[in-house]
Amino acid sequence: MIRSRHSIHIDRPVDEVFDYLRDHENRIYWQGNLVEHAHERLAKGSRITEARNVLGRRVEIKGEITEYESDRRFTFVGSGPHVKRLEYRYVLKPDDGGTRLDTEVDVELPESFGLAVPVIQRLTDRELEHAHTTLKDILENTKAHEMAKQLPRHKHHTN
């Protein structure tokens, strides 16, 4: 089992951070290994399909939102051909005039991945830290977000 945890302070109110997180169209801006996704409006029971780039390979995961509390938390649980189980949880709390975002990622891989687990653990830790840092940069600098909107969209957005 791979477990990754990261926490970051974002100098924006909780409701603004949550609004950005719950708009799944924004995920492509701050999650570097996310290459494609399809989703329903984010709520408990929403179905999500995502494809990620892991070690240069496409890893597809299908799942749903199992927990959703506006401005507080949401949890996704899914699986796919190369992942027995993936769960990620976002928890938001007011923190010194901004928001504390705690993210937990649990990944259960097939036993055939045994020797690769330490490498995938380190990659997951770095991806999570990088995603948080990128999210913080975007939310604390609205001009960066506006600039990102002007860049060409990924092909899955044009269909």
Q: What are phi and psi of 33, to 5 degrees?
A: -95, 0
C-alpha closest to that of 39 among 69, 64, 74, 75: 64
Res. 148 pLDDT band, cuts 50 70 90: low
CATH code for position 70:
3.30.530.20
* Residues 73-91 pLDDT 10s: 999 999 999 899 999 999 9
Residue pair 63/76 in contact by the 8 Å Cβ criterion: yes
* Residues 96-108 pLDDT 10s: 999 999 999 999 9
Strand order in the sheet with 34-39: 2-10, 98-108, 83-95, 73-80, 57-69, 47-54, 34-39
pLDDT of the residue at 144: 63
Domain count for the chain, please give it. 1
Residues near 67 by beta carbon (within 8 Å), at least 6 away in sequence: 44, 73, 74, 75, 89
Q: Mean pLDDT throughout 44-58?
A: 91
What is the C-alpha R_g of the chain? 15
CA separation for the pair 147, 19 (Å, rounded): 19
Cβ neighbours around 76 below 10 Å, total: 22
pLDDT at 123 over 80: yes
Q: Compute CA distances 58 → 5, 82, 153, whole Å.
A: 23, 10, 19
pTM for the full model?
0.86
C-alpha closest to that of 98 among 7, 3, 6: 7
Q: Mean pLDDT throughout 22-34?
A: 89
Helix, coil or strand: residue 77: strand
Q: Mean pLDDT throughout 117-136?
A: 94
Q: Which domain holds residue 87?
A: 2-157
